[in-house]
Amino acid sequence: MNPVVAAVDLRVERTEAVQKACKLIGGIDDIDVPDRELVVKVGVYTPAKDGYSTVDTVSGILHSFRRSPKRYIVESDNYQGGGMERLQIWRQLFLDSVVPVNLSQDTDTATIRIPNPIREVTVNVSRLILKPKVFVDTHVMRTYERGNILKNLFGLTPTNKKVQYHKSEIFYSLLTTLYEAIGGIDLAVLDATYFTHSLKEKSVTVQTDVLLVGRDAVAVETLGLHLAGIDVRKNDLIRSFVGKGLGVGDLHSIDAVGMSIEDLEAGFTEARKECMSKIPDAWSPSKAIDDLIVSGFFKSSKKRTIDEIVTALVKKDARTRGREKMIYANVKRRVEKGKLLSKKVDEETVFWT
């Protein structure tokens, strides 16, 4: 039987979007029970930047589990700050039955061994996140090949020096082992209220107003990555989880309900185009200098020093600042190619066409 992922249009259904999604996937009566507490793992890098599930979404998750005797919203420390500090984003949801927990401060832990042929790696994780707790994972949608929902498991590690795992050979093994250790993700909620497209130069966020929800977290992640423009057939994260039998990563084996897959693909294609239109072209010294030549900046009556060239380029684009050597090298190449002329005048070289 194919896993079901519900896609809800938040422009139509916002306040009860999570509840509607849960109905679309067949209900959650088996996990919304009075004898199992709920853990909601949110993901937030820093409150100073967007990139975390909205208050509406987390509130919707909490209200979907009305029979749960106690509900925890959890995060851990990172180098940007403490977990409890970052959890304040959702402070209006805190009640006697809704408790924020910094996993890095929990001393009741279990040791997990991460398979690694090079060196033994162990991680201590809070017992709060282990079964029989119901584990709900929510994160936002980004163009990030290492994932969003499944990558959010990274935040279960208590250390604030998570980079030691992030850049190591055990990254995917860490995520799959954590998944197995906690007994799996019971409900995945990918919050695409906003969609962030990231490039080296800049990240751009646009409003997309979609919520993806499913019981198979790998299937939810797969659909989310696909809509973000990432080829899931070649994605190492999806391969790692599918290879361990932890979920479905084949788009053709995932049933999308609610919004159609065609409407989702069309909507996110437009969202990616909108993002790209807002991201400036990468700065190119060659193009910048050629533009000056075409504009007539170097006409023979206006012989230019390198300082004048740099000043003109900085005025056009601040990214020029601090790249004087690169600019000079490119100007010299234009001389070698015959696009510019040059001579030394009073110990200073001038350039013209």
Residue 198 has a pLDDT of 76
Residue 17 has a pLDDT of 97
Q: How far apart are CA 36 and CA 25, in angstroms?
A: 21
pLDDT per position as a tens digit, 115-133: 887 778 899 999 999 999 9
Does the structure show a pLDDT above 90 at 72?
yes
Q: Where exactly are the structural domains of the chain?
A: 4-278, 285-352
Does the structure show a pLDDT above 70 at 176?
yes
The torsion angles phi and psi of 219, rounded to 5 degrees, stand at -65, -40
Does the structure show a pLDDT above 90 at 162?
no
Within 4-157, strands assigned E span: 4-9, 38-41, 71-75, 98-102, 109-114, 121-126, 134-142
Contact 82, 47 (CB under 8 A): no
Q: How confident is residue 187, by pLDDT bands cut at 50, 70 and 90?
A: very high
CB contact set of 182 (below 8 Å; sequence gap of 6+): 125, 129, 130, 131, 135, 153, 156
Q: How far apart are CA 168 and CA 114, in angstroms?
A: 12
Residue 206 has a pLDDT of 95
Q: Which region among 33-42, 155-164, 246-255 has the lowest average model confidence (pLDDT)?
A: 155-164
Element (H, E) at 176: helix 171-181
Residue bearing the bigger pLDDT, 264 or 47: 264
Q: How confident is residue 321, by pLDDT bands cut at 50, 70 and 90?
A: confident
Burial of 120 (0-12, 13-18, 19+ CB in 10 A): exposed
Residue 346 has a pLDDT of 83
Q: How confident is residue 202, by pLDDT bands cut at 50, 70 and 90?
A: confident
CB contact set of 95 (below 8 Å; sequence gap of 6+): none
Q: Which CATH number fits domain 285-352: 1.10.287, 1.10.3470, 1.10.10, 3.30.420?
A: 1.10.10
CB contact set of 130 (below 8 Å; sequence gap of 6+): 110, 181, 182, 183
Residue 81 has a pLDDT of 92
| Residue among 163, 178, 192, 23 nearest 111 (CA) | 178
The mean per-residue pLDDT over the stretch 10-28 comes to 95
Cis, bond preceding 158 (omega within 30 deg of 0): no
Strand partners, 124: 111
Q: How far apart are CA 330 and CA 334, in angstroms?
A: 6
Residue 47 has a pLDDT of 87
Residue 23 has a pLDDT of 98
Residue 201 has a pLDDT of 58
Residue 320 has a pLDDT of 85
Q: How far apart are CA 145 and CA 55, in angstroms?
A: 25
Residue bearing the bigger pLDDT, 278 or 213: 213
Contact 90, 73 (CB under 8 A): yes
Rg of the Cα trace of the chain?
26
141: alpha, beta or left, given left = phi > 0 and alpha = psi -120 to 50? Answer: beta
Residue 199 has a pLDDT of 67
Residue 16 has a pLDDT of 95
pTM flag (> 0.75): yes
Question: Which tokens is 74 given?
Answer: 């959890």
Q: Which region among 80-89, 114-123, 216-225, 244-253 has the lowest average model confidence (pLDDT)?
A: 114-123
- Mean per-residue pLDDT over the chain, rounded: 93
Strand partners, 191: 140, 211
Q: How confident is residue 347, by pLDDT bands cut at 50, 70 and 90?
A: confident
Q: How confident is residue 255, by pLDDT bands cut at 50, 70 and 90?
A: very high
pLDDT per position as a tens digit, 257-300: 999 999 999 999 999 999 988 876 777 888 899 999 999 999 98
Q: Which CATH number fits domain 4-278: 2.40.480, 3.40.50, 3.40.140, 3.30.450?
A: 3.40.50
